[in-house]
A and B are shown apart, each in its own frame.
Chain A
Amino acid sequence: KAGVTQTPRYLIKTRGQQVTLSCSPISGHRSVSWYQQTPGQGLQFLFEYFSETQRNKGNFPGRFSGRQFSNSRSEMNVSTLELGDSALYLCASTSGSGETQYFGPGTRLLVL
């Protein structure tokens, strides 16, 4: 069974630009969550989607948004990038039972 995939793996942007990251969950998983990981703050929850609906949202500004498609693939978008948005962005899919949550390899975003 293929794992969680994320594209692109690396991205360099400049301040003020916007970026879209993509995540394909494990086949059959309908819940997709997004996290931001930085050395200072660790892993922080951004939002969770389930069956195309946002189910939970973390404490991030409105510049961070996401969506989920009918095939459970998800995208997150960050508009008006700031230097502090440089981070590893991780996507995770949760099994139907909720017993396990599997992470993808992440997209490393560098904002210059």
Chain B
Amino acid sequence: EDQVTQSPEALRLQEGESSSLNCSYTVSGLRGLFWYRQDPGKGPEFLFTLYSAGEEKEKERLKATLTKKESFLHITAPKPEDSATYLCAGIYGGSQGNLIFGKGTKLSVKP
């Protein structure tokens, strides 16, 4: 069974304290990986798509990287508004419409 596992489950940072979130996945059959941000009571907000090992994408304070067996979401100098749950999802199967999600990392950034 295809699996996506995120760690840690929760992360508390001080404003400006950089860190990384981890997403590990079943390698066989993975076609790509999505990262999302989700605020309470809202739908996930798309952040990045990664397809190949070595690929990196950046957006403001966030940088996503992909290796052969895991992905990282690096947060540089976070601000309180970066507080949210970050989800990664593996693309398996024959279409992009079927994603397998990790349980997420709940990030809290204190001022």
**A contact set with B: CB distance below 8 Å:** 4, 31-33, 35, 42-45, 48, 50, 55-56, 58, 90, 92, 94, 98-106, 108
Q: Is the CB of A103 within 8 A of B45?
A: yes
B83 to chain A, nearest CB (A): 18
Q: For A99, list chain B residues within 8 Å (CB).
A: 49
**Nearest CB to that of B43 among chain A residues?**
A103
Q: Is the CB of B93 within 8 A of A56?
A: yes
Q: Does B79 contact A (CB under 8 A)?
A: no
Q: Is the CB of B96 within 8 A of A98?
A: yes
- Using a Cβ cutoff of 8 Å, how many contacts connect chains A and B? 66
Q: Is the CB of B96 within 8 A of A94?
A: yes
Q: For B36, list chain A residues within 8 Å (CB).
A: 103
**Nearest CB to that of B31 among chain A residues?**
A98
**B contact set with A: CB distance below 8 Å:** 34, 36, 41-46, 49, 87, 89, 93-104
Q: A31-B95, A31-B97 are in contact. List 20 more A-B contacts (CB 8 A).
A: A4-B43, A33-B98, A35-B101, A42-B103, A43-B87, A43-B101, A44-B101, A56-B93, A56-B94, A56-B98, A90-B43, A98-B96, A100-B49, A101-B34, A101-B97, A101-B99, A102-B46, A103-B45, A106-B43, A108-B41
Q: Is the CB of B101 within 8 A of A42?
A: yes
A92 to chain B, nearest CB (A): 8
Q: For A100, list chain B residues within 8 Å (CB).
A: 46, 49
Most A CB contacts (10 A, CB to CB) among B42, B43, B98, B102 go to B43
Bound together, the chains give a CA A48 to CA B99 distance in angstroms of: 10
Q: For B93, list chain A residues within 8 Å (CB).
A: 56
Q: What are 17 A-B pairs at a CB distance below 8 A?
A: A31-B95, A33-B97, A35-B101, A43-B89, A43-B101, A44-B101, A45-B98, A55-B97, A92-B97, A94-B95, A100-B49, A101-B97, A102-B46, A103-B44, A103-B45, A106-B42, A106-B43
Q: Is the CB of B96 within 8 A of A31?
A: yes
Most A CB contacts (10 A, CB to CB) among B42, B93, B96 go to B96
**Nearest CB to that of B36 among chain A residues?**
A103
Bound together, the chains give a CA A103 to CA B87 distance in angstroms of: 13
